[in-house]
Amino acid sequence: MREPTLLCVPSVAKSTDQMAADMRLARSNGADLVEIRLDHLQSFDPQRDLRFLLKDPPLPTLVTYRPKWEGGEYEGDDEPRFEALCLAMELGADYVDVELKVADKFFASISNKKPEKCKIIVSSHNYQFTPSLEDLGNLVARIQATGADIVKIATTAVDISDVARMFQIIVHCQVPIIGLVMKERGLICRLLCSKFGGYLTFGTLESGKESAPGQPSISDLLNVYNIRQIGPDTKVFGIIGKPVGHSKGPILHNAAFRSVGFNAVYVPLLVDNLADFFNVYSSPDFAGFSCTIPHKEAALKICDEVDPIAKSIGAVNTIIRRPSDGKLIGYNTDYVGAISAIEDGIKVSSHNAVKDGTGSPLAGKLFVVIGAGGAGKALAYGAKQKGAKVVIANRTVDRARELARWVGGDALSLSELENFHPEEGMILANTTSIGMHPKVDESPIPKQALRFYSVVFDAVYNPRMTKLLLEAEESGAVVVSGLEMFIRQAMRQFELFTGLPAPEQLMREIMTKNA
Ligand code: NAP
């Protein structure tokens, strides 16, 4: 049974005063230890500065004095470097880090002087790529052979599948190991360290204070990813996309999992090639996925079975690995999220005069969809299913025509929208990214044309009230925000992920706070 993974805050401060302040902050932020990066200090007097830093530190300390040739800042000879590390050990450092290339020399220089309490980490960094499993295994053996107390291997992710090799190495290593894969594509290595048994993972005090590329903040590790709760049995869920850094999914789903005591974590998965991803992450531990741009259509082909609605729409935004046989099952929750939100908007606009129970309030309505991409398809298909008359307007008119033909509707160019008002009380749904942050002063349709609509929906949810929605409200329409669609599609995903009812109130509160 391995010890729980430790949380280490690196301090790359330029002065010892700032480092001492970082140490105090690391402790109050919940870290288990702090890494003192001596090579980042602007001026360094070993006797004076190490005595200052290591006298009653608020947390256990790891002292690192990284040379330039291994990715650090130190440019001098090894001898004074080793002397400083030796002094750090004498003064009570809990760990010192020394590079594999010089480990034998370092061990020879300290002979038997290592204090009992201090553990020596022997590290190897690869800033270009992640070697093969065999080469990683050989590297572990070489590091172990130096007499290291702890093995550290840091490599670079060229693709997210590289991380799987590091997970294998960590799981099978017989000695304590720190295995990290750097850069954004390696993030899950840092987030899932405690699932696979890594000795420690690094979390920064704030962005800009990283000691290596791709480190998350300690606050995110603790408060978003609930890292202290992650263990070998924790199921992994995540959002597959490119990019994914902006996604609110981790904030939302992790809090929702935690609120119902579901042993799972939801992580961002920056995926370049969907097929490669699923080939490598094929274990039942990787249990379910949200899927966003640009993978929603490819996801349809990857799945072993696809829900008929997702198949009809031609896009999958949710994938579940069925526990009974490991097959990948695809769904589309965008559809139900958007359509149910718009149906509720229509009920508000008609003061609940819509017949309840049977039939949809969309039935018989003229439903104008702007955009013919993934979201446009889901909305057009959904509205048609509910009995609406569908019209598609799109920048590329051919795509509008194609979608209109497919769902059974009409097509327009964007410019024709301005004077399009065959009837009053139409429904409008924007499914393009027009009006999305940072271009918040754009709208897909002139304000004067909005008076013909009774309900206006915008798939954009950043900002929550887009220019389109503000102008629609001023024109007297009931508005439905993309945030409502986002919350509802996420609630349905939660139900597919967990088999439990979604904690609606909590999910709403989180999205309102973080929108
Ligand atoms: P997509 O498949 O890439 O489709 C984008 C659509 O927007 C296309 O029809 C494209 O027209 C049009 N478009 C893009 N930029 C435009 C511009 N500057 N002027 C005019 N038309 C433009 O993307 P998607 O997956 O459908 O997503 C579209 C939007 O919906 C995004 O903002 C996304 O964030 C949002 N969304 C929200 C939710 C939610 O839960 N609220 C869920 C899914 C998507 P062309 O055909 O001419 O290229």
Please identify, by atom number, the ligand 1 atom nearest to the C-alpha of residue 486.
40
Burial 368-403 (b: 16+ CB within 10 A, else e): bbbbbbbbbbbbbbbbbbbebbbbbbbeebebbbeb
Longest CA span, the chain: 90
Active site residue 365: no
- What whole-number distance in Å separates Cα of residue 209 and Cα of residue 227? 20
- What whole-number distance in Å separates Cα of residue 66 and Cα of residue 163? 24
Any ligand 1 atom below 6 A from CB of 332: no
Amino acid 113: pLDDT: 80
State the distance between the two ends of the chain, measured CA to CA, in whole angstroms.
Answer: 41
Active site residue 152: yes
To the nearest 10°, report the CA torsion of 258, 263, 266, 271. 180
Any ligand 1 atom below 6 A from CB of 396: yes
Nearest to 37 by CA among 58, 71, 62: 62
Ligand 1: which residue has its CA nearest to atom 41?
A: 482
Centre of ligand 1 to C-alpha 411, Å, is: 17
Contact, 89 vs 114, CB < 8 A?
Answer: yes
Amino acid 139: pLDDT: 98
- What whole-number distance in Å separates Cα of residue 54 and Cα of residue 79? 21
- What whole-number distance in Å separates Cα of residue 27 and Cα of residue 30? 5
Any ligand 1 atom below 6 A from CB of 72: no
Nearest to 193 by CA among 224, 169, 223, 211: 169
Amino acid 245: pLDDT: 87
Amino acid 3: pLDDT: 87
Sheet harboring 318-321: ordered strands across?
264-270, 235-241, 286-291, 318-321, 328-331, 305-306
- What whole-number distance in Å separates Cα of residue 212 and Cα of residue 259? 33
Amino acid 355: pLDDT: 56
Any ligand 1 atom below 6 A from CB of 493: no
Nearest to 464 by CA among 430, 436, 431: 436
Amino acid 98: pLDDT: 98
Any ligand 1 atom below 6 A from CB of 372: yes
Contact, 439 vs 377, CB < 8 A?
Answer: no
Active site residue 78: no
Contact, 197 vs 5, CB < 8 A?
Answer: yes
Instruction: Please choose from 291, 317, 340, 395 the residue to mutate so as to test ligand 1's pocket, defined by most ligand atoms within 8 A of CB.
Output: 395
Residue-wise pLDDT tens digits, 182-205 = 999 999 999 999 999 999 999 999
Centre of ligand 1 to C-alpha 373, Å, is: 6
Q: What global pTM score does this model have?
A: 0.94
Residue ranges of the chain whose pLDDT lies below 50: none
Active site residue 439: no
Residue-wise pLDDT tens digits, 363-407 = 999 999 999 998 999 999 999 999 999 999 999 999 999 999 999
Centre of ligand 1 to C-alpha 335, Å, is: 14
Strands 318-321 and 328-331: antiparallel
Amino acid 357: pLDDT: 58
Query: Cα–chain-centroid distance for residue 110?
Result: 43
